[in-house]
Amino acid sequence: MDMCDSQKQMEAGGGGDGDMRLGRLEFLAMNNPLRRLVQKHVEFRIFKNQLQKRDIHLEDGVIMDAGCGSGYGTELIVNEYHPSHVIAFDYMPEQVRLAQRRGLNVEFLVGDLRGIECESSTCDAVFIFGVLHHIAEWKTALCEVARVLKPGGVLLFDEPRYLFTWGQLEAGTKSAGMDILEVQTLFFHYFHAYLCQKRFKAPAQRPPA
């Protein structure tokens, strides 16, 4: 059994809904013009720079926006990279309905990062704009992201320091089978933005007990 199998087993059945559904205030905070400005000019700009610096191109690739909310980030991704296929999902049906209204050529779905409905090794890139801190089983979510990425595929995610320390988040990312290529801190270290890459080799097996 690899690290991710045992992680999923440990976290299975825990958590439930927890903080995954946004409260009324957070829903409003997420779906307004100020949030869109920050997402476009801060978060997405950081991700674009991280990719450019490493000469990583996503044009014509298969891209996932996990926890897409109202789909604004998805729209930025589509307009920037013109991917061949985009899958975007969110746990809250009301968010997915907002995203579907954007009229994008995107497969918008209700879904759960703890069990992504997607074949293994299909995505060139996964974007996660501030979602893991809502998920008690965030290590399982990272394992799921690693599963759907192609070997060498990239994960771009940003999170506030909430629910985990940076050390825990980085250890969880690595044990899911991804290398951290770059970390950028923002908002006085309260947020980190990561560029990660799924390893080409399978993660090390645990030695038999």
Question: Shortest gap between Cβ of 205 and ligand SAM (angstroms)?
Answer: 27
Q: CA 178, CA 162: separation in Å to the nearest integer?
A: 21
- The continuous run of DSSP H or E covering 185 comes out as strand 178-186
Between strands 149-160 and 191-198, the pairing is antiparallel
Q: Decide: is 22 part of the binding site for ligand SAM (CB under 6 A).
A: yes
State whether residue 28 is helix, strand or coil: helix
Contacting ligand SAM (CB under 6 A), which of 3, 7, 62, 67? Answer: 67
Binding residue (CB under 6 A) for ligand SAM from 4, 20, 64, 148: 20
CA distances to 63, 80, 91, 122 from 110, in Å: 16, 24, 6, 19
How many residues bind ligand SAM (CB under 6 A)? The answer is 21
Q: Is 157 in the site for ligand SAM (CB under 6 A)?
A: no
Nearest by Cα to 91 from 148, 156, 17, 13: 17
Residue 155: name the closest of 203, 187, 199 by CA.
199
- Binding residue for ligand SAM, selected from 48, 49, 85, 92, defined by CB under 6 A: 92
Please say whether the beta carbons of 149 and 123 come within 8 A.
yes
* Binding-residue pattern over the window 28 to 57 for ligand SAM, x denoting contact by CB under 6 A: --x--------x------------------
Site residues (CB under 6 A) for ligand SAM, limited to 105-144? 112-114, 129-131, 134-135
Select the residue interacting with ligand SAM from 4, 8, 11, 69 (CB under 6 A): 69
Write out the residues near ligand SAM by the rule CB under 6 A: 20, 22, 30, 39, 67-69, 72-73, 90-92, 95, 112-114, 129-131, 134-135
